[in-house]
Amino acid sequence: MAVAAEVAPTRVVVESTPVADPAPLGLGAFALTTFVLSGHNATFIPDLIWVGLALFYGGLTQLLAGMWEFRNRNVFGATAFSTYGGFWMSFGIFAVLAETSKSFGSALTGANLPNAAAWFLIAFAIFNTYMLLWSTQVSVAVFLVFLTLEVTEILLAVGNFSEAHGNANNGWVHLGGWVGIATAAVAWYASAAGVINGMKGSAILPVGAPLHFGNGVTHRRHQHA
């Protein structure tokens, strides 16, 4: 006996309205928060004003930008923005707990606080190293963001390790602050370029082409074959 089976038709959902590029928002959130903390490290901005920014603008807003990059299938942007959103929220809540919790703060007395901060920065510098390499495939502007950020994280880590060994006000943190300001400036430029280029649909502010090292090597090999 034959049995008839109904096969439900496959439904394909097509979105007619494209999603706006979240990268300018993520870069802007990163830039402003980096500028304020770096200004403190460079000694011209008071301390702790950066904490609220770290939790909500550099943290939550940048994390949201990363989630939207997942929607855009941009694996680099999703990974970068989500990670540094987490970076800022983690660092912000660390500062809050260190200042307000007696039990948490008691574990950070003496050299423990700068030593903990140094290892925190080293861990993110490891992540930043391979993102720096892959940023060459995005644009010159994004590559410069990750390059200056790499230098900033290393300088601040060295400064905090030095402070943990009794060398307070050693100058490394101040230098890291000024390089961090350069990082913020490059990120702000990339954000501004993303906004106006997206509005106009053309390259009003140049960000530089990807540095396709691999393609260049392959091309030269073909020439010599």
User: Mind listing the pLDDT tens digit for each residue in 54-65?
Assistant: 999 999 999 999
Q: What is the mean pLDDT of residues 20-26?
A: 97
Task: Let me know: does 72 contact 22? Beta carbons within 8 Å.
Answer: yes
pLDDT, tens digit (0-9, with 9 covering 90-100), for 33-80: 999 999 999 999 999 999 999 999 999 999 999 999 999 999 999 999
Give the pair of three-digit tokens for residue 66. Answer: 């990363």
Average pLDDT, the chain: 90
Give the pair of three-digit tokens for residue 6. Answer: 């109904």
Nearest to 190 by CA among 86, 85, 83, 81: 81
What pLDDT is attached to residue 220?
40
Would you say residue 218 has pLDDT above 50?
Answer: no
